[in-house]
Structure 1
C-alpha cells in the first residue's frame, strides 16, 4: 500500500531522491566556497585571517566548543524527571488528611 492510496500528503523531504538532491547541492556549494576561498581577496586586519579556510575552521571549532559547553551546562542545569509535576502539587487540607 502506498501513501497515495491512503490519501496521506507526501512532503518534499519524504522522498529520498529529494533529500539526496538537497545534500548534493549542499556539498557542491561547500566545495565551491572552499575553492573560492583561495581566490577571493580579503582585507585582513590580523595575520591569522590570511590562513586559507580560516573562517571555516573558526566556525567549526566554535561549534564544537559550544556543544562541549552545553554538555557541561546540562549537568548543572538539568532537573529531575518529575521536577515540574512535584513543584505544581500544592498541599490542600484534603491532601494533608489523606497523608495521615
Structure 2
C-alpha cells in the first residue's frame, strides 16, 4: 500500500489550492465587470454584476425545473431490466453450456419473440 501512486487531487491541500484559484478567478471577473466597457442592448445590462447574477439565477431555475421534471420522468429501479419469465411458457437453461449445446431449445425460441410488429 505504501507504493501506491499519489495523484494530484489525493492531497487535500491541492484541492484547497484549486478552490482558491477558482475564487480568485471569480473575484477577478467581478472586478473586471466594473472596468470593462460593454456594448449593451438593454438598459438592465448596465447594472453592476448583472451577468453573474443572471447566470446564478439561470442555474437555480434549471435545477428547480430538473427536480420538478424528475417527479414524472423517474422510472422504477428495475424499469429497463428484462421481464421475469413465466414458468409455464418459458424454460431457462441451467448453465451456459446447455444454451450453447442445444439442450435447452425452448430458451432459444424465446430470443426473438418480442417483435413489436407481429
Report the TM-score, using the length of structure 2 for normalisation. Answer: 0.69
- Cα distance per residue 1:45-70 (max 9 Å; x no partner): 01110001110000000000000000
Q: Corresponding residue for 1:83? A: 79
**1:63 alignment partner, one of 42, 59, 62:** 59
Gaps of 5+ in 2: 91-118
Let me know the Cα RMSD of the aligned residues: 1.8
Matched, 1:10 2:6: yes
* Higher alpha-carbon Rg: 2
After TM superposition, the structure 1 = structure 2 runs for residues 18-97 of structure 1, keeping only pairs within 5 Å, are 18-85=14-81, 88-89=82-83, 91=85, 95-96=87-88
Post-superposition, which runs of at least 4 consecutive aligned residues in structure 1 deviate over 3 A? none
Gaps of 5+ in 1: none
Q: How many residues are matched?
A: 90
Deviation at 1:89, TM superposition (A): 2.2
